[in-house]
A and B are shown apart, each in its own frame.
Chain A
Amino acid sequence: MIYVFETMGTVVSIEPPLRVREIEAVFAELNERFSLYRADSELSRIADGSLSMIDASPELRGAYARALEWRALTADAFTPHRPDGVVDLSGIVKALAMDAARDLLADSEHWILNAGGDVLTSGQEATVGITDPFDRTRLLTSVRLGGSRRAVATSGTAERGDHIWGRGGFAQVTVVADDIIQADVLATAIIAGGVDSLNASTSSWDIDVLAVDLAGNLFATPGFTSAIASALVT
């Protein structure tokens, strides 16, 4: 059994359907506050100048502060600022919602949450397929998630580059980590910052990465390669 709902311009699936109303509410609340597609959202009011950051809610300022921290940690490869200066938190909001959902599911043993292609799991080991950036009806490969490794985020230039500005030479980047916010932000940073961000990220964080360049060549960290291998065994 699985529960599927639309939010944030994408689709979220929870398997099995645990605490679905509360999780749906978490996503809806963050979407309401941070969507730039809704003229009445708090972030849209920041963007149009009718609300100043100083007067913004603690939630908004908190999310912005986290995004700025990540900008500093990734040497600007991840940024909450659009080229036109508008504050756009879409690069972190979905992961914040997934992280909040994880807190709601803390008492549940086994579950899989997929929000628009970002994955968070708990309990039993799970095999996660990675889409082929050049043919998304196919899988490029699959990885085994278990132990402390619970989060997978994939960023690409193919479908929705709206929070990725600048081209780093990768068509798709998948990051496996313990934490979904870290995985999501670093996947975005590596897409934007290219090979420099890839090397900086793999040296500074305990993450596993699979990157596909624009010519289709693959690059994987040893941890990612062994996660593929363990998916093979099962």
Chain B
Amino acid sequence: MRRRAAIGSVIVSAAVITVGWVIGTVSSTPAATPATKLTNGTYAGSVEQTRYGPVQVELVVSGDKITDVKALQLTNAEQRSIEISNEAAPILRSEVLAAQSASVATVSGATFTTEGYLTSLQSALDKAKA
């Protein structure tokens, strides 16, 4: 999900580049079509070096409209895209507290010693399930 969102943001920035590229191509055709007219078809953009890494997109044009944008190449952007979207951000305690009400199957905590275990929540859970 988050990766898709990140890819989406890359595509948006790359699409701007590529739309310009497509328009450039179309306008260079000899016909007297207006420069803004888009010809139906599928257009692969050139590989663009963006600050997110190399990106290449494909545009599908149908009925004078761009109907689809696909990412053809997100090389190391695949890993980079995690960085764009996966940064840890501050969250409020109030945002996480409510989740406590859910019944838990087990408990994760900093490694407890054998002695520490005796007073841990996991110990209580283990006893309840014994």
**A interface size (C-beta, 8 A):** 70
8 Å CB interface, A214-233 against B: 216-226, 228-229, 231-232
A128's partner among B83, B105, B119, B130 (CB-CB below 8 A) is B105
Residues of A within 8 A of B130 (CB): 1-2, 4
- Kindly state whether residue A116 has any CB partner on chain B within 8 Å: yes
Binary B-proximity of A136-177 (CB < 8 A = 1, otherwise 0): 111111110000000011111111100000000000101000
Q: How far is the CA of A114 from the CA of B130 in the complex (A)?
A: 14
Contacts of B80 in A (CB 8 A): 203
On chain A, the residues within 8 Å of B107 by CB distance are 114, 117, 119, 128-131, 139
Q: Mark A199-217, 1 if CB is under 8 A from B, else 0.
A: 1001111110111000011
- Asked if B62 is at the interface (CB within 8 A of a chain A CB), the reply is no
Tell me, yes or no, whether A80 is within 8 Å of chain B by CB: no
Residues of A within 8 A of B103 (CB): 127
Please state if A130 and B86 are interface contacts (CB–CB under 8 Å): no
Given contact pairs A232-B98, A232-B99, A220 touches B110 in the complex (Cβ within 8 A): no
* Cα–Cα, bound, A43→B81 (Å): 41
- Cβ-defined contact, A155 with B110, below 8 A: yes
Give min CB distance, A14 to chain B, whole Å. Answer: 10
Report the stretch among B8-16, B23-31, B67-75, B89-97 that lies at the interface. B89-97
Q: How far is the CA of A143 from the CA of B100 in the complex (A)?
A: 9
Q: Which 5 A-B pairs give the minimum distances between C-beta atoms?
A: A156-B110, A203-B83, A131-B109, A129-B104, A141-B96
Supplied contacts A10-B113, A228-B95, 18 more A-B pairs, CB within 8 Å: A117-B110, A117-B122, A128-B104, A129-B100, A129-B104, A136-B112, A142-B99, A142-B100, A143-B99, A159-B112, A160-B111, A172-B110, A209-B88, A217-B90, A219-B90, A221-B86, A221-B89, A229-B99
